[in-house]
Amino acid sequence: MSEQKIIEIEVLRYLPESDQAPRPEVYKVPFTDDMSVLQGVQYIKDNFDGSLTFRWSCRMAICGSCGMMINGIPKLSCEAFIRDYYPKRISIEALGNFPIEKDLVVDLSGFIEKLEAIQPYIIPKEPRTVEEGEYIQTPAQFADYIQFTSCINCTLCYAACPQVGLNPDFIGPGAMALMHRYNMDSRDGGQARRMEIAASEEGVYNCSAVGYCSEVCPKKVDPGNAVNINKINAGKDYFLRFLSPKGGAK
Amino acid sequence: MSKRRPYVRSMDGWWKKNPFYVEYMIHEGTALFIVAYSIVLTFGLVRLAQGEVAWNGWLEAMKSPLSIIFHLVLLVAIAYHAFTWFKLFPLTTPPVVINGKKLESGLIVRSGWTATIVATVVSFVIVWGIAA
């Protein structure tokens, strides 16, 4: 039997009832090579301090709940492995650019509002009745947006985006990617309505093409690309209205 | 009463906290060297408009060691800017679909560089042609 390995995990704790500001606390966690950082955090809660608060659910990078800053990088803690950091200390902190609610839990209400604002559902071009049958879509039309459907709302891209941190009103990469997903759907006719958000002060032009959002995305959605394509779309929408009375810009 | 007290972390020095942000800031910063070079060229154009003596004076000034060092610094900074700019190319361009397949990002970057190299060579050939 090999010796039990121990890793130091430094957690940025914040208890709003007693702490004025977040403070680091170090735990010595025994681990095996198959343990994720999330399991390390669970070990702390089960064995050292039951008050440690964090979100998690599926443990397999599908639910998007367990995102946190691991050594300053936004990651899903269920797919980051302790063995990859050992023997150095792991520092974990709540996702960046969001207010900390408690310990590793952030306040996502701003993100949820942004998500609602972009109307993330199909707004049919021509509404059809049940009798008229289904909306038809070709595989090529499906391919136009499939990539952007993979978003799991984990908000790692928000934690990666300094513009979100500097201007919390910025709609941000994740919601923009979802907006693009519906705009690109051949069954959808809501682009003009969504353009009001895309081209607004909170919209695409807050993006300065840092590109880190796409880098950290665990689902390869490439939200940065969605934002930048919509800069072109918003530009076209603005200038083309001089040629045509259509377009959402007001 | 609610015990909620969401804590907002400071953004001070954000760009120093991640190598990715440092690269971004250097990329953005090197744009200033492009501005500097365009000012040098514009100044040359003004001197050209002022006549032969002024123009020859500008040409002499360009040959000074200080000017050559300055131009080498500009070259390095602008090359870095170009390198990181092309790296961002796939992020900023809409998808290019050829025969139903999306062009992969490496190819987009390489096509940008190819266009740059071709444009540079063509410019050199034209300038040399005029000079000869």
Q: Which residues of chain A lie closer than 8 angstroms to B84, CB-CB?
A: none
Number of domains chain B is built from: 2
Assigned superfamily of A5-106: Beta-grasp domain (3.10.20.30)
Residue A134's Cβ-count burial label (10 Å; 0-12, 13-18, 19+) is exposed
Strand partners, A9: A27, A90
Confidence class of residue A248 from pLDDT cuts 50, 70 and 90?
A: very low
> What is the tens place of the pLDDT at every residue in A117-126?
999 999 998 8
Provide the pLDDT for residue A2.
62
> What is the tens place of the pLDDT at every residue in B30-51?
999 999 999 999 999 999 999 9
pLDDT at A161 over 70: yes
Per-residue pLDDT for chain B (132 aa), expressed as one digit of tens each?
788 999 999 999 999 999 999 999 999 999 999 999 999 999 999 999 999 999 999 999 999 999 999 999 999 999 999 999 999 999 998 888 888 788 888 899 999 999 999 999 999 999 999 988
> What is the tens place of the pLDDT at every residue in A48-93?
999 999 999 999 999 999 999 999 999 999 999 999 999 999 999 9
Indicate the Cα dihedral angle A240, A243, A244, A250, nearest 10°.
60
Amino acid at B85: W
Considering the four listed CATH numbers 3.90.330.10, 3.20.20.70, 1.10.1060.10, 1.10.10.10, the one that applies to the domain covering A109-240 is 1.10.1060.10
Residue of B nearest to A14 (CA): B7
Residue B8 in domain: no
Q: Distance, in angstroms, between B123 CA and closest chain A CA?
A: 30
Residue burial B8-30, b: 16+ Cβ < 10 Å; e: rest:
ebeeeebbeebebbebbeebeeb
Query: What is the crossing angle of helices A191-198 and A223-240, to 10°?
Result: 100
Q: Which residues of chain A lie closer than 8 angstroms to B96, CB-CB?
A: none
Q: Do B6 and A107 touch (CB under 8 A)?
A: yes
Residue B87's Cβ-count burial label (10 Å; 0-12, 13-18, 19+) is middle
Residue of A nearest to B93 (CA): A229
Q: Are residues B83 and B116 in the same domain?
A: no
The helix/strand/coil state of A91 is: strand
Minimal Cβ distance to B3: which of A16, A143, A214: A16
Q: Which residues of chain B lie closer than 8 angstroms to A225, CB-CB?
A: 90-92, 95
Six-digit token pair at A168? 């919390």
Q: Which residue in this structure is represented by tokens 């209400």?
A: A109
Q: What ipTM was assigned to the predicted interfaces of this complex?
A: 0.89
Q: Which residues of chain A lie closer than 8 angstroms to B27, CB-CB?
A: none
Q: How far apart are CA B125 and CA A169, in angstroms?
A: 51
Q: Are residues B79 and B112 in the same domain?
A: no
**Number of A:B CB contacts under 8 A?**
62
Q: What is the mean pLDDT of chain A?
A: 94
Residue burial B41-69, b: 16+ Cβ < 10 Å; e: rest:
eeebeebeeeeeeebeebeeeeeeeeeee
Residue percentage of chain A with pLDDT more than 90: 89
Q: Global pTM?
A: 0.91
